[in-house]
Amino acid sequence: MNHFIFLDSHTHILPAMDDGAKNIEESEQMIRSLKEQGIEELFLTPHYYSHKESVDKFLHRREKSFQELKPILDHYDMKYSLGAEVYAIPAIFNYANLDDLCIEGTDLLLLEMSSPKSDPQHELNMIQEIYSRHSVEIILAHIDRYPFMLKQKTLKEFAKLDVYMQLNLDFLDAVFFVKQKYLRYIKQGYVQFLGTDCHRIRDKQISKIQKYRSQLAAKLTAEELQSIY
């Protein structure tokens, strides 16, 4: 087993929180599969939509779901940190404090950009506005879902804002050009987090983690692998 990617930085395993695990039984299946493939730590990051509910209501739901899941996480000796995948729309500015949505024990906020078809300048403006109002550090979720991030000039504009970037592991299933582009971004230090973004037990990436790890080990140097959290 390769010695890297022990952290899955993006998951939807908390039961009945969003479009992820439907119940505690499915959550356990997902945790067991991840654990068997060497994942030792999870960021628990259900979707947060500020136009649908308040931060307080979301946190109340999350805590209830987490308390149901905690015995299973402990049973599998899985480390975990609560967080959220925050949808980047202006409604988030209705709330004075985003700290409680950050990854537990950090100031890292996992941010989902508004649309793959969005004008990247719109997303850049949103990030700048968040930074002007809140003392957080942004992780951009699944940058592989945004075609504009394939343009290195555009990606560098985001990098100038000192954001962290997260790739979903199934970028390795993309066409050759796209896969090579994202591998190059890892080599160049633009990507700091990898994750499955797993929603359901049937998701293909749940069962392919070992394959992805082997592919990354073959493509990246030890130093490049160590740069990934």
Task: Give percent above pLDDT 90 in the chain.
Answer: 92
- Across all residues in the chain, what is the average pLDDT? 95
Instruction: Name, in order, each residue with C-beta under 8 angstroms of 220's C-beta and a sequence gap of 6 or more.
Output: 183, 186, 187
- In angstroms, how far apart are the furthest CA atoms of the chain? 46
CB of 41 closer than 8 Å to CB of 7: yes
Instruction: Please report the pLDDT score of residue 229 as a whole number.
Output: 83
pLDDT at 2 over 80: no
Task: Give percent above pLDDT 70 in the chain.
Answer: 98
Helix/strand/coil for 174: coil
d(C-alpha 111, C-alpha 88), whole Å: 6
The helices-and-strands tally (H runs, E runs) of the chain is 7, 9
d(C-alpha 224, C-alpha 128), whole Å: 29
pLDDT at 12 over 80: yes
CB of 212 closer than 8 Å to CB of 169: yes
pLDDT in tens, 86-137: 999 999 999 988 999 999 999 999 999 999 999 999 999 999 999 999 999 9
| Mean pLDDT value of segment 29-34 | 97
| Mean pLDDT value of segment 67-74 | 98
- What pLDDT band is residue 227 in, cutting at 50, 70 and 90? confident
pLDDT in tens, 41-53: 999 999 999 999 9
pLDDT in tens, 134-147: 999 999 999 999 99
- What pLDDT band is residue 4 in, cutting at 50, 70 and 90? low
pLDDT in tens, 162-218: 999 999 999 999 999 999 999 999 999 999 999 999 999 999 999 999 999 999 999
| Mean pLDDT value of segment 21-47 | 97
- What pLDDT band is residue 3 in, cutting at 50, 70 and 90? very low
Q: Which domains does the chain have, with CATH numbers?
A: 7-226 (3.20.20.140)
| Mean pLDDT value of segment 8-35 | 98
